[in-house]
A and B are shown apart, each in its own frame.
Chain A
């Protein structure tokens, strides 16, 4: 026990005798960036015991530090030691990822709708007009739709809830009646009924696994397309008394996925994982007013504690699980939880928190500034997640290849860090009415004491629940709200 008590003193200046000369001359050229030492030094408290987890963690910090300290040669830094968002390169990268993909992308053959969503979403967040893809997307999506409802990962593949979600979001992003009308809502609705399970959750495809992605993706689809909640008699969850609908038991299912750590697992009894935290909060927020539904089903203080623990220094980005490494995509999966939670805690006129989880008995106060370090996340994204070679695109961390998936979620995370959302007061008690579903969300750029990024690096806000731009979400939902029948 005594041996492990090792408090680390702040790092000493470089011992020149051990540095080669080339390195010294280079170092003297660095301008004095305004970078808090939080992002350039190892954490104050570290353990001596070495295990494989601590080794990979140390390696990751070593990899990230030069990027965070303004020492990467490919970058042009501002006074805060933060480079610009290289829009031009990323946009080019994303356009090309929508083109024909070489054979080495074979593993993506069952998840092409994801590629469409990731690329279109990333482009939209950077302010690109993606409506020019409408026609091609309409053709592509048609080929992936099954007569029995839903979309598969490609032509003539089994319908999957995740690929259906991705297609619906992609269609929402390109917008327009032609795109919306691709979706056969009636067969989609009856297919969703088949996926609904008696325990409240959803299978991800017929005969497939049941997990929390199923709940979130279904809720998004139902709300965006304004599908009825009634169950068909062939649904495994159908009861003769008619009390069960598509949303019944979803809250309880989500509740069973919260773990002792406070985070959310993919299925009950597994480990808390960042991606599922976003799905859980999103699903609850779509059941009704999140200011009521979230505390009803989740231990909020423990959840916030777990979410906050995902941000490490000096890397400053988020990890997906306890003792796992920082990764750019959790900028969205974890970082994207905060706008929603902060809005729930801080929006004026929040309804009384109904009796829910006992841990929420104490009134939870509004957030003084922000629950996470927005500056930290922005630094990690702009310094570590940009591929600054000719390739462009965004990535997990330095040393990893950029891809469409990380481009989408890193940029979503950047958007979350740059904006602050508020919810208008809602009076109604009934969660399922349209009034609670169509809560009025407003957004403003987040104003920090010191803004470390240049104004031109501000990206578009994305909806804290649907993860697409607000106007895209509103356009598709109001289109289907106005439509009678299927």
Chain B
């Protein structure tokens, strides 16, 4: 099938109506200013091919005779293969016509050129000439910077290989100033790339300090499950982390790298572990690291790794404190202050409390009045803070000064001093009186009694005070604390008063704590076994 006459290839995005009409007279060039560079190209193209646009539109036969002749002459003139097939006479005639009409002898080739897109995904072809020149200027600027940057990298490489300068004969040394200049240069390059192409470059790729590291990308299979679309900066930082971890590098820059990643994702345990290795390998002052960590902890209250990191730091620091009681006490005080600060914001934070009990054990400050006071303050703030109650139990009953090693927490300890047991029983009672349905001090009370080998019945009167007329059917039964009733059941069982114990359990299940009826029924069965 013969091809229909097709329009000459036009750059995309140009409106046909805006095409300047090609005129045979080159003089008119100056009058029509093309709106875009694409239009300008089209204009130049058409200008180099007289009558061609019109021919394509209406066919050769449609042109006036003289234009037909001119077009044919021009065509032959610039097509050597066709021209040389003409007899010599015809060739001479051709050149005469060409000279007379002053045709452009060279025609521009069809413009398939792609101008590309700018940072906003717009076609550069739609730029005005002025704007385009400006862009080209920046591109040239970028190229210059790139050349200079390549020069820097080459110099660095030579420095690394110990190459000598050809002129001076000295070993090549890249100065700090050069590095700094390169850093600035890369910043400019990144700005230009972003402006021209919208590409964002990671800060590590821009930093000459990291030139020697080849980042290791994630490289997950396409179909990987629950893969996370990494933000670009995280993706880059993590690729550098993999590379430095692989070569087991420990350095200041690695430390900074871990900080960057921790800021973005504090739950990344691998980076924390690696950070600790850096701190220890570089023998950095532990206190500096603790100070840095304090800041991180305050903004990441729920984070878990922070507290293990702290644990490692204290393990590392401890030998330097061990021989010096003053230093040790000072350290214990600063830590307590910090923990108080954290616990104000999150009073039951499990990791903080776990760390605190570790710290007490490590520093051996069970008997510290400040520690006990600090816990009492928290209980005074909220008598229902069970974490504080748990810590108190640990402080009082795990003190190696009066603890039999190897016993379970729920076992009696013959080493528990009577006065301490009494003191703690009184403390628990006092707090129970504030809010009798608060389970924390009841659990504590029972824990203390068992640990101190006291009979549960020693608090029978106290517990009975919260229960009135149990089992009465006249409506006078009143229970102020289900925990008191629970303890009474145990007290009666201890005293072998099974019926009274059973009544407590039955009333708990029937009325006062119905959600736990299955448990209370099982407890009644336990009474039968005893």
Q: Which A positions have Cβ atoms within 8 angstroms of B?
A: 1, 4-7, 38, 44-49, 51-54, 97-103, 105-112, 115-116, 119, 133, 135-137, 139-140, 143, 152-158, 160, 205, 207-209, 255-256, 258-262, 265-267, 269-273, 299, 301-302, 304-306, 308-309, 311-313, 316, 321-324, 357-359, 362-373, 376
Report 10 cross-chain contacts, Cβ distance below 8 Å, ordered by A residue.
Answer: A51-B435, A106-B234, A109-B267, A112-B227, A140-B220, A155-B218, A265-B390, A322-B389, A357-B411, A373-B516
Q: Whole-angstrom distance between the alpha carbons of A323 and B409 in the complex? A: 20
| CB atoms of B353 and A270 under 8 A apart | yes
Residues of A close to B161: CB separation below 8 A: none
With contacts A4-B434, A269-B357, A362-B530 known, is A103 near B268, CB below 8 A?
Answer: no
Residues of B close to A160: CB separation below 8 A: 269
Q: Whole-angstrom distance between the alpha carbons of A358 and B451 in the complex? A: 13
Residues of A close to B393: CB separation below 8 A: 259-260
- Number of residues from B at the complex interface, CB < 8 A: 91
With contacts A258-B409, A260-B444 known, is A106 near B219, CB below 8 A?
Answer: no
Q: Which of A140, A309, A365 is close to B528, meaning CB atoms less than 8 Å apart?
A: A365
| CB atoms of A261 and B228 under 8 A apart | no
With contacts A209-B308, A324-B348 known, is A103 near B231, CB below 8 A?
Answer: yes
| CB atoms of A52 and B350 under 8 A apart | no
Q: Whole-angstrom distance between the alpha carbons of A301 and B486 in the complex? A: 13
| CB atoms of A322 and B435 under 8 A apart | no
With contacts A106-B228, A205-B269 known, is A266 near B350, CB below 8 A?
Answer: yes
Q: Does residue B340 face the partner (Cβ distance < 8 Å to A)?
A: no
Residues of A close to B270: CB separation below 8 A: 110, 152-153, 157-158
With contacts A101-B226, A136-B225, A271-B390 known, is A110 near B308, CB below 8 A?
Answer: no
Q: Which of A45, A156, A316, A376 is close to B480, meaning CB atoms less than 8 Å apart?
A: A45
Distance of A52 from chain B, by nearest CB (Å)? 5
| CB atoms of A364 and B228 under 8 A apart | no
Residues of A close to B42: CB separation below 8 A: none
With contacts A259-B390, A371-B522 known, is A207 near B382, CB below 8 A?
Answer: no
Q: Whole-angstrom distance between the alpha carbons of A371 and B518 in the complex? A: 5
Distance of A294 from chain B, by nearest CB (Å)? 14
Residues of B close to A372: CB separation below 8 A: 516, 518-519
| CB atoms of A97 and B265 under 8 A apart | no
Q: Whole-angstrom distance between the alpha carbons of A143 and B217 in the complex? A: 13
| CB atoms of A47 and B226 under 8 A apart | no
Q: Does residue B515 face the partner (Cβ distance < 8 Å to A)?
A: yes
Residues of A close to B361: CB separation below 8 A: 269
Residues of B close to A367: CB separation below 8 A: 518, 522, 525
| CB atoms of B433 and A270 under 8 A apart | no
Chain A at the B interface: SS class: loop
Q: Whole-angstrom distance between the alpha carbons of A69 and B347 in the complex? A: 32
Q: Whole-angstrom distance between the alpha carbons of A261 and B347 in the complex? A: 19
| CB atoms of B354 and A322 under 8 A apart | no
Q: Which of B229, B410, B434 is close to A260, meaning CB atoms less than 8 Å apart?
A: B410
| CB atoms of A109 and B516 under 8 A apart | no
By beta carbon, the residue of chain A nearest B387 is: A271
Q: Whole-angstrom distance between the alpha carbons of A265 and B409 in the complex? A: 11
Contact flags B277-311 to A (C-beta < 8 A → 1, else 0): 00000000000000000000000000000001001
| CB atoms of B408 and A140 under 8 A apart | no
CB neighbors of A among B418-463 (8 A):
433-440, 443-444, 446-447, 450-451
Q: Whole-angstrom distance between the alpha carbons of A27 and B102 in the complex? A: 96
Distance of A49 from chain B, by nearest CB (Å)? 4
Q: Which of A260, A267, A324 is close to B409, meaning CB atoms less than 8 Å apart?
A: A260
| CB atoms of B347 and A52 under 8 A apart | yes
Q: Whole-angstrom distance between the alpha carbons of A112 and B399 in the complex? A: 41
With contacts A311-B516, A357-B408, A373-B515 known, is A47 near B478, CB below 8 A?
Answer: no
| CB atoms of A111 and B267 under 8 A apart | yes
Residues of B close to A313: CB separation below 8 A: 513-515
| CB atoms of B357 and A270 under 8 A apart | yes
Distance of B7 from chain A, by nearest CB (Å)? 44
Residues of A close to B228: CB separation below 8 A: 100-103, 105-106, 108-109, 112
Q: Which of A48, A209, A299, A365 is close to B529, meaning CB atoms less than 8 Å apart?
A: A365
Distance of A340 from chain B, by nearest CB (Å)? 15
Q: Whole-angstrom distance between the alpha carbons of A271 and B516 in the complex? A: 23
- Number of A-B pairs, beta carbon distance below 8 Å: 274
| CB atoms of A269 and B398 under 8 A apart | yes
By beta carbon, the residue of chain B nearest A308 is: B519
Q: Which of B311, B382, B435, B513 is close to A52, meaning CB atoms less than 8 Å apart?
A: B382
Q: Whole-angstrom distance between the alpha carbons of A364 and B354 in the complex? A: 33
Distance of B257 from chain A, by nearest CB (Å)? 15
Q: Whole-angstrom distance between the alpha carbons of A45 and B478 in the complex? A: 9
Q: Which of B234, B245, B350, B481 is close to A273, meaning CB atoms less than 8 Å apart?
A: B350
Residues of A close to B385: CB separation below 8 A: 53, 323
| CB atoms of A365 and B525 under 8 A apart | yes
Nearest 8 CB-CB pairings of A with B = A260-B447, A53-B384, A308-B519, A313-B515, A47-B435, A271-B390, A365-B525, A299-B410
Q: Which of A119, A133, A270 is close to B350, meaning CB atoms less than 8 Å apart?
A: A270
With contacts A308-B519, A322-B440 known, is A53 near B382, CB below 8 A?
Answer: yes
Q: Does residue B479 face the partner (Cβ distance < 8 Å to A)?
A: yes
Given contacts A156-B216, A358-B411, 5 further A-B contacts (CB under 8 A): A38-B515, A109-B228, A208-B269, A261-B443, A271-B390
Residues of B close to A157: CB separation below 8 A: 268-270
| CB atoms of A258 and B410 under 8 A apart | yes
| CB atoms of A45 and B411 under 8 A apart | no
Residues of A close to B434: CB separation below 8 A: 4, 49
With contacts A4-B434, A38-B515, A261-B390 known, is A98 near B226, CB below 8 A?
Answer: yes
CB neighbors of A among B498-530 (8 A):
511-519, 521-522, 525-526, 528-530
Q: Does residue B61 face the partner (Cβ distance < 8 Å to A)?
A: no
With contacts A107-B265, A109-B265, A207-B276 known, is A51 near B229, CB below 8 A?
Answer: no
Q: Which of B234, B410, B511, B516 is close to A262, meaning CB atoms less than 8 Å apart?
A: B410
Q: Whole-angstrom distance between the alpha carbons of A152 and B241 in the complex? A: 15
By beta carbon, the residue of chain B nearest A152 is: B270
Distance of B442 from chain A, by nearest CB (Å)? 9
Residues of A close to B411: CB separation below 8 A: 299, 357-359
Distance of A274 from chain B, by nearest CB (Å)? 11
| CB atoms of B451 and A368 under 8 A apart | no
| CB atoms of B267 and A323 under 8 A apart | no
Residues of B close to A272: CB separation below 8 A: 390
Contact flags B170-193 to A (C-beta < 8 A → 1, else 0): 000000000000000000000000
Residues of B close to A103: CB separation below 8 A: 228-231, 234
Q: Does residue B386 face the partner (Cβ distance < 8 Å to A)?
A: yes
With contacts A160-B269, A373-B518 known, is A362 near B230, CB below 8 A?
Answer: no
Distance of A156 from chain B, by nearest CB (Å)? 5
By beta carbon, the residue of chain B nearest A377 is: B515
